Each structure stands twice: as C-alpha cells, then as structure tokens.
Amino acid sequence: MKRTWCKHLPAAELLIKGGRVVDPESGVDAVQDVLVKKGKVAEVGKSLKAGKNTRVVDAAGMLVLPGFVDLHAHFRTPGREDEEDIATASAAAAAGGYVAAFGMANTDPVVDTATILTGLSQRASVDALVPVGFFAAVTKGLAGEELTEMGELGAAGAVGFSDDGQSLKTAAITRRALQYVKVSGRFVAIHAQDDSLFKGGQMHEGPASARLGLTGIPSLCESLDVSRALDIAAYEDADLHVCHVSSAASLEAIARAKEAGVRVTAEVTPHHLVMNDEVVATLDPNVKMNPPLRSEGDRRALVEALRSGLVDCVATDHAPHVSEEKDVPYEEAPFGVVGLETAFSVLHAGLVEPGELDLATLVTRLSAAPARIAGLEAPAIAVGAPADLCVIDPAAVWTVAPHTLQSRSWNSPWLGNELTGKVRLTVAAGRVAWDDRA
C-alpha cells in the first residue's frame, strides 16, 4: 500500500564517479562509481563508462550515501503555508539528503479524517520533490478524547498515528489506540510529556534553568509518560514509537522495555545529540524546543544510545516558524526549530569527525532504520535498487542563512553559523531532487 507521494520527474541517468560509497546495508565502504540508469542503480564498481545521455558527476572527495528518511517533520500544511508547505518542505528535505519525509498531523485543520489525508496526498503528488507521507492523528482534533477512524486513515495511507505536539492524555486512549494499530499494521508515535509537570516550562530543569531564572521542564516530565506508554504497549503487544527522546531516564525505560521484548522503537533529534541546556544562556529563541535541550549527561547518553541502537533512528522534528514569531524574547517564543537541511552536517561534524560515532552507524540511523519503521524499503546503493542516494561534500563550508535554505522558515539554532559538510546531489525514487554542484 502507498505510504508516500511525489510529483512526476524524469528518471535520472547519471554516472557518479569516484566517490566514497558508504552503504552499510550492502556492506560497502569503498571508492566506487555508481551508474544510474532509468532511475535505478545499474552498476557499482570501478571505471564505469557513461552512456550517451548520461550526466557524469565528479564525486572525488565526496561521500555517496543511501538517502535519508525523516520520520518526523512538520510540513505546516494545511493552515500555516506562510511557514512551510509540501513544496518547500520537500525541497528542504532534498537539500538535506533526504529521499523521504513524513509530516505530523498537528496542522490546522488536524489530519484526522481520510478526506484531509487524501487532500494532502493529492497535493504531494503535484508538489513534492521527494516522496512524502503523513501521520494521522490518534484523537479527533488532537483533543485527546475520541479516537479517529484509524482503519480508514490507515487505508488512505497514513504511515502511523500521532498526536505529536501534545501528549496522549490518558492511559485509556493510549491503550485503545495501540489496540487499533495492531489491526491496521501501523504504529503509534508518542510525544511523551506529563502535562502537569510541563506547565509553564521554558527549558530543561537543572542548574542552568536555576541560574537563568527560567521555569524548568524536568526529565521526569518525559520519562514518566514514556514509562506509562511502554507498560501499555507491553500489555497490548503493539507497536509504539517514542518521538524525540531527550533524557537518560527515558532511555533507561526504553532499554528495560526492549530487553523485555516490548515492540518499541525510538528516535532522537540532531539538536539533542549535539547541544545541551547550557546554550540556552544565549536566550536565542532558536534554541527553544520541546522537549528541551537537556544536560550534558543526557546528551552523552543519547549519543551512546544512538550508537548502540537502543535509539533506532535520527528524526529532525523539523518545525518551521515565521521569523516574526521567533523574533521575540526567549520566554515568549514558540517551541521548535527547523532541521532538515542541517541534520547531516551537524551530526557528521559534531559526532563522526570527533570520533563519537562512526559514519556507517550514522548512515544506518538516518536511512535504513527509519525507512523500516515507516514500512518502506531501506534505501541501498545496490544493483537493481531504485536510486535513493545523496552525494555529500564533507569538507564544504556553508553559512546557514535564509537565502541558503530551501525551507520557507529559517528558525535554525545554527542560523548565521558556518557548517561543514554540504549535500551536493540528492536522487530520490530515481529522480534528481536536489543538485547543488554549481
């Protein structure tokens, strides 16, 4: 069944020459040429020859990787097309090396009926540069009370169900949602948050929040809700996905559950992997997100969990906001940052280069692992596979600025910063979706 949609583009005819191909799925890490014919990987090897209509891409010194899959983005459509829409979100995804991305359901209106979901998938068939798909809400209007028609929404192509942006209010609604997804073969993705502990929170609760005089959001706010959902998933033997894990306490709960055989997967964002709550001292509204940046101990635990596979994948939680919303004092700014276009650069420069994570593991967590959770075929640079890949110059330096981003919003923690590592080419579903080699 279809779970992603994309506009029609001509099939790629490419010879990508002399790049370092790193594909953990195929067990490859070597300098190779990759020949793409009619949108499929036709050959991988040395000294391959281009055909007549084949464009040659010089990838010397570059990485050639399976394309990335983002399980968690906010496309802001319907309702806030001033912040993002399917065309700009998918362009941002392509520019970040992503070959598929999934939008959350907390739009206006909420994606809680098959009619709204079908409207979005039709729009994506016209506008999306890379295949995109959609979560449907667990509860009508995200109100936490009445379940959506999950069977119909699953049949319309919802990749999974989530009230992301909000917690699932009660154990009873979490339980019923998990019972339903068992039937539909999907999963429930939770934004874990105990609302009574969250109230008025501005940043992680710890020494930094005390020093800055900002209301703290304790780790417990997340880990309590994670534990409850894990207990229910265990009881119902149903698939649960934990969004944007931010704390060591949540990781401990997930580790215990995985050990006990609970069907749980988890994601972590790039910002939680490379920053801690100390940066909030800048009072930059672009380091305000929910869950908040945690302590250095939490950050280290997240990196270790990503390395070991306890956390299955990286997801961006790409959350565009117009600059007028973010150009306010920290306390008044909304939560959320964009992330599709900076994910690889910050993780490669922040974790792989210093030796905290090896490149192959990062690639798996960005590509094959999230693809499998979404029920997609894992992107692979293997003969016969559809061309889902990206070419990245790991040494290129670029500045994060409104005009260098494809997203309609630029509320990035790295706004104005120089990043190292730039995606030069993205081929998604056999089509060139991004080409920045100029």
How many whole angstroms separate alpha carbon 393 and alpha carbon 344? 11
Q: 194 or 317: whose CB is closer to Zn ion?
A: 317
Q: 164 or 236: whose CB is closer to Zn ion?
A: 164
How many whole angstroms separate alpha carbon 99 and alpha carbon 388? 6
Chain position carrying tokens 């704390």:
247
Instruction: State the residues that interact with Zn ion by CB under 5 A.
Output: 164, 191, 317
Residue 401 CB, nearest distance to Zn ion (Å)? 24
Of 127, 317, 388, 393, which one is the catalytic site residue?
317
Q: 25 or 164: whose CB is closer to Zn ion?
A: 164
Residue 107 CB, nearest distance to Zn ion (Å)? 12
Residue 104 CB, nearest distance to Zn ion (Å)? 5
Residue 197 CB, nearest distance to Zn ion (Å)? 16
Q: 191 or 422: whose CB is closer to Zn ion?
A: 191
Residue 334 CB, nearest distance to Zn ion (Å)? 12
Residue 74 CB, nearest distance to Zn ion (Å)? 6
How many whole angstroms separate alpha carbon 391 and alpha carbon 58? 10
Q: 241 or 299: whose CB is closer to Zn ion?
A: 241
Q: 107 or 406: whose CB is closer to Zn ion?
A: 107
Please provide residue 220's backbone torsions phi and psi, each rounded to the nearest 5 degrees. Answer: -55, -30
Could you confirm whether 317 is annotated as catalytic? yes
298 close to 219: Cβ distance less than 8 angstroms: yes
Q: 32 or 269: whose CB is closer to Zn ion?
A: 269
Closest CB to Zn ion belongs to which residue?
A: 191
Residue 53 CB, nearest distance to Zn ion (Å)? 42
What residues are annotated to the active site?
A: 317
